[in-house]
Amino acid sequence: MKKLKVFISGADRGLGLSLTKKLLERGAVVYAGQFMPDWSELDKLKGAFMDSLQIIPLNVGCDDSVKLAAQKVKSMTDDLDVLICNAGIMGWDDERVADVTDTEMMLEVYNVNAVGAVRLVERCMPLLLNGTERKICFVSSEAGSVSNCERTNFFWYSMSKSAMNMYAKTMFNRFRSQGFKFRLYDPGWMKSYMMGDVNELATYTPDAAAVFAMDYFFDQIVDEDELVLWRYSGEMIEF
């Protein structure tokens, strides 16, 4: 039986690491994008899944890095079944004291969260076209929903996720007729490193969020001719 081949960005820690673990436990071959080589969790995982885990240096915010990562994956396989665009950053600007947004920080967030997904999809498309699943999953956020927005800050993060959602919708319109499947997933408020340190006030651990994500990405019966933003809680919200 052919093993599922999955490339995931931002696999160093948080949701990406949890998804990588669960995919390996299911018997998939995982090409794990590593942004922080000094963070040892992926290397530890490699010891347990020597033949199924391939660690790929990857900075989705850099054209050359994404190009080299795709080339490395291509040197190992002729096809990919699933691409998970998971890498993302929050950015920070202390609005309690700052009257003007740090636009360099804002552009960095947009570059990673929105343009990073574009880079990754485009470079991996030849491999996905050769795959059997042809599935692209985007880790998004309710923050990117314009119609449901109630936020008063961190607008740069929301804008980056809205842009990524629009890209996902455009790719859906373009490639659905070629058998591609698309997922937009909001993992909820996770105990992640998005703010630098682990947010212990958040609701879900990355492992819990990964359970919901795996169900939506791989197990649920989904209307493939409709693109929705699916939340960890089972809700589908407008984006």
* Cα separation, 176 vs 179, whole angstroms: 5
pLDDT digits (tens, 9 = 90+) for 137-167: 999 988 878 888 777 778 999 999 999 999 9
Q: Can you name the CATH fold of 5-237?
A: Rossmann fold (3.40.50)
Cα separations in angstroms, 35 against 64, 109, 150, 200, 233: 14, 15, 32, 23, 29
Q: How confident is the model at residue 77 (pLDDT cuts 50, 70, 90)?
A: very high
* Mean pLDDT computed over 102-127: 96
Q: How confident is the model at residue 179 (pLDDT cuts 50, 70, 90)?
A: very high
pLDDT at res. 146:
85
pLDDT digits (tens, 9 = 90+) for 35-66: 999 999 999 999 999 999 999 999 999 999 99
* Cα separation, 73 vs 79, whole angstroms: 9
Entry pTM: 0.93
